[in-house]
Amino acid sequence: MKIVQFIRGNVVLAIAILAAAVTTCFVPPDKQWLGYFDWKTLTCLFCTLAVVGALRNILFFTMLAHNIVRLFRTTRTSILALAYITFIGSMFIANDMALLTFLPLGYFVLSSTGNEKHLAFTFIMQNIAANLGGMLTPFGNPQNLYLYTKFTIDTVEFMKIMAPPFAVAVLLITICCLCVESTPLRVEKTPVQKHTVRMCIYLALFALSVVIVFRLVPYYYGLAVITGVLLVMDRKALKKVDYPLLLTFTAFFIFSGNMSRIEWVHDVFKHLLSKDTLTVSTLSCQFISNVPSAILLSQFTENYRDLLVGVNIGGTGTLIASLASLITFREYQRLNPDKVRRYLLLFTAYNASFLGILLAFMHLIK
């Protein structure tokens, strides 16, 4: 039963392990396997998740978000604020961590004011905001971190590539949130104990994890410092790191590495990507999610611009297009198990619309 529960809670990881296992039938383990793994990506992801976990444990993000939301007085502006907070948060703490941090805040705001009827819409907007907000920065989405490292993309160039779809995403989310009815809303301030010293230290560690991403400090130095400090100050943060996500990356590194060595697979993907990298990468996300799509397709093309855009806007669409979407679904299912069908219908409608508009826009400006 424990194994079944683990698989249900980590479907993408289970698929990744199965996919990696299948490819070993064609490419047995050998010395080349050691070259599959991007240790810097795994290290940066671990450091970011650990530090963000430590900040969450002292309720830093909750305190920050409460102060922002209290500035707004209606359902419309509060839902817009929640979407924006998630949008901005994903740029700095990654999309999945932004959702884990701000989805509970969205529920708190709506449930404490008797506006649960807006919960599905709010969660969907926060989910889209997390997936599309994180695309602007190298560490906003896991696939960004991987591609940024693999292709050694310049930071300014990275942001220029992602600026057009990012701007359209902001506009679309704003329009959707402004269509919500505007009713008076009041959020009472919840007292939160301040941990000033810990907060300063954790923010310094977060700055170090960002510096590692930008290649200003060797990743192994950062790993040693961040792990050492958290072992002393907050071991719970290390225990709560999303290790299944790290294992998912590891499994897909094996899968993509093996796939690239199967001759007919290499030829097929190379041909498809040479025709339309943007569309192929976007559609790929709908079936195997954006992170594995980035890892797999990067083996067959040097067109990192279209690939980068494709695996980011491809995070919208189906429920499995992004790991973050599964996080939102699990949270909504836990809070409203009787309204899952309505949520899935709304989720599909909004995500399909965002995906269609963004893909059409990017083809238009190419």
- Sign of torsion over alpha carbons 76, 80, 85, 90: positive
Closest CA to 289 of 259, 322, 258: 322
What's the rounded Cα separation, in Å, for the pair 329 and 138? 25
Helix (H), strand (E) counts: the chain: 18, 0
- Sign of torsion over alpha carbons 153, 126, 361, 300: positive
235 CB neighbour count, 10 Å cutoff: 11
Buried (b) or exposed (e) across 252-263, using 16+ Cβ within 10 A?
bbbbbbbbbbee
For 9, residues 6+ apart whose C-beta sits below 8 A from its C-beta are 330
> How many residues comprise the chain?
366
What's the rounded Cα separation, in Å, for the pair 25 and 23? 5
What integer pLDDT is reported at residue 261 of this predicted model?
A: 84
Closest CA to 176 of 96, 291, 76: 76
Contact status, residue 148 vs residue 138, Cβ threshold 8 Å: yes
What integer pLDDT is reported at residue 186 of this predicted model?
A: 66
What's the rounded Cα separation, in Å, for the pair 138 and 178? 29
Residue-by-residue pLDDT tens, the chain, 366 positions: 777 777 776 776 888 888 889 989 999 999 888 888 878 878 887 888 898 889 888 888 777 767 767 788 788 998 999 999 999 988 887 787 788 778 888 888 888 778 889 999 999 999 999 999 989 988 888 899 889 989 999 999 999 999 999 999 999 999 999 999 888 866 566 666 778 899 999 999 988 987 887 778 888 999 999 999 999 999 999 998 888 878 887 888 888 788 878 888 878 888 999 999 999 999 999 987 888 889 889 989 999 999 999 999 999 998 888 878 877 887 888 788 888 899 999 999 999 999 999 999 999 997
Angle at 131 between CA 110 and CA 306, to 5 degrees: 160
In this prediction the pTM is 0.77
What integer pLDDT is reported at residue 277 of this predicted model?
A: 95
77 CB neighbour count, 10 Å cutoff: 17
What integer pLDDT is reported at residue 336 of this predicted model?
A: 87
What's the rounded Cα separation, in Å, for the pair 172 and 179? 11
What integer pLDDT is reported at residue 106 of this predicted model?
A: 87
